[in-house]
């Protein structure tokens, strides 16, 4: 595109034939260059919004080919099999990258989730390549403090067109959100604002890697803090409907007595349950009381009563609040899957 004077008698050089002109106001240019260029700038913006970069993985402004450095990984059902020995194909062409297989495996980038992208946005440009449902892609993230307390060394934001309810699990280290309908087989530009997922994934999201399952072709994977123009009309992934739970009291790191009242907030859920981790096991607590305005409370026991000498169960304990899809009826080594959860560490006086 070429910016030119809107004067009708201006001769257009033959060596610019094929270029698209955008015009500035020659009369306004005599007194106010900024206003003279307003319409030309608007035309350029419209044009730039239609431009899409060449297929690539773009991390913090650094680009690499979209088909480079993908590694096969096995899922639980094929964990005993060498995933590289299973039948699969990586298809790389001018449009992008696709992983094709009938086996229960996928591909990941990079090999060992070694990225350290502290970023606000992730974006993908994808399209469906088969009629199967449950097309999935994942962002591997550094666990938040809450996730680490729950024993998760790795967590994932898993987006799929088969998700019915946003929230955690199963498995319990995957937070699930829904992709838009991909059955039209056209390209979709997908935007994920990780700051919108902060109530669930933590305030400072660090991207460590990506996963891709069969049935999707991808042309772009990007991380960034400022949106480019080609993403202006992207379809945004949201945590719509995901249960939100928060422990307000006691605070993380507080000292507590043997019996304490715990309180907090909740959104978009009904039944709640609480558990305390002590002596290597999670112990169910009493009935969680639901109050008005989205608040809950429950009486919790942290360890055993003091012995006859007055010595108490000192040490640290964990307190978890979670949704009640799978009721905790007895002590257990790990918590059941729950769409919503929060967890803190406390110290016994």
Strand partners, 127: 217
Task: Provide the pLDDT for residue 83.
Answer: 61
Task: Provide the pLDDT for residue 312.
Answer: 60
Q: Contact at 8 Å (CB) between 340 and 325?
A: no
Could you tell me the mean pLDDT of each successive run of 10 residues in the chain, 349 residues long?
70 72 84 88 73 86 92 69 73 94 90 94 94 88 96 96 94 96 90 97 94 95 89 92 97 96 96 95 96 95 77 83 96 97 96
CA distance 6 to 27: 9
Nearest to 242 by CA among 343, 172, 296, 165: 165
Task: Provide the pLDDT for residue 305.
Answer: 78
Task: Provide the pLDDT for residue 78.
Answer: 55
Sign of CA dihedral 167, 284, 151, 295: positive
Catalogue all structural domains in the chain, each as residue range(s) with its CATH number.
2-49 (no CATH), 56-237 (2.60.120), 244-348 (2.60.40.10)
Token reading at 226: 């400022």
Task: Provide the pLDDT for residue 64.
Answer: 94
Kindly state the helix (H) or strand (E) to which residue 36 belongs, with its residue range.
Answer: helix 33-36
**SS3 labels along 108-120:** EECCCCCCCEECC
Residue 170, preceding peptide bond in cis (omega within 30° of 0): yes
Task: Provide the pLDDT for residue 176.
Answer: 98
Task: Provide the pLDDT for residue 77.
Answer: 56
């Amino acid at each position: 595109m070429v910016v030119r004077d809107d004067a009708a008698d201006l001769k257009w050089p033959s060596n610019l034939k094929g270029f698209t002109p955008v015009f500035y106001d020659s009369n306004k240019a005599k007194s106010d260059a900024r206003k003279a260029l307003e319409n030309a700038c608007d035309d350029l913006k419209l044009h730039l919004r239609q431009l899409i970069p060449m297929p690539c993985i773009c991390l913090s402004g650094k680009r690499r080919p979209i088909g480079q450095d993908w590694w096969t990984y096995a899922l639980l059902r094929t964990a005993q099999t060498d995933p590289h020995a299973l039948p699969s194909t990586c298809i790389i062409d001018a449009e992008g990258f696709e992983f094709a297989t009938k086996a229960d495996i996928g591909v990941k980038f990079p090999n060992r989730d070694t990225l350290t992208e502290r970023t606000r946005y992730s974006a993908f440009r994808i399209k469906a390549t088969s009629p199967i449902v449950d097309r999935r892609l994942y962002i591997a993230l550094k666990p938040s403090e809450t996730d680490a307390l729950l024993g998760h060394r790795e967590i994932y934001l898993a987006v799929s067109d088969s998700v019915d309810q946003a929230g955690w699990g199963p498995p319990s280290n995957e937070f699930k959100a829904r992709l838009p309908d991909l059955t039209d087989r056209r390209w979709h530009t997908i935007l994920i604002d990780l700051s919108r997922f902060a109530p669930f994934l933590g305030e400072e999201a660090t991207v460590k890697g990506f996963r891709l399952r069969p049935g999707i072709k991808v042309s772009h994977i990007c991380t960034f803090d400022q949106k480019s123009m080609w993403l202006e009309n992207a379809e945004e992934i949201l945590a719509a409907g995901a249960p939100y739970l928060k422990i307000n009291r006691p605070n993380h790191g507080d000292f507590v007595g043997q019996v304490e009242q715990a309180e907090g907030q909740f959104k978009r859920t009904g039944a709640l349950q609480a558990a305390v981790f002590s002596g290597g096991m999670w112990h169910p607590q009493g009935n969680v009381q639901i109050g008005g305005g989205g608040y809950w409370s429950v009486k919790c026991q942290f360890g055993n009563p003091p012995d006859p000498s007055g010595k108490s169960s000192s040490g640290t304990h964990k307190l978890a609040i979670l949704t009640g899809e799978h009721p905790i009826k007895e002590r257990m080594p790990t918590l059941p899957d729950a769409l919503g959860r929060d967890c803190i560490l406390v110290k016994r006086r």
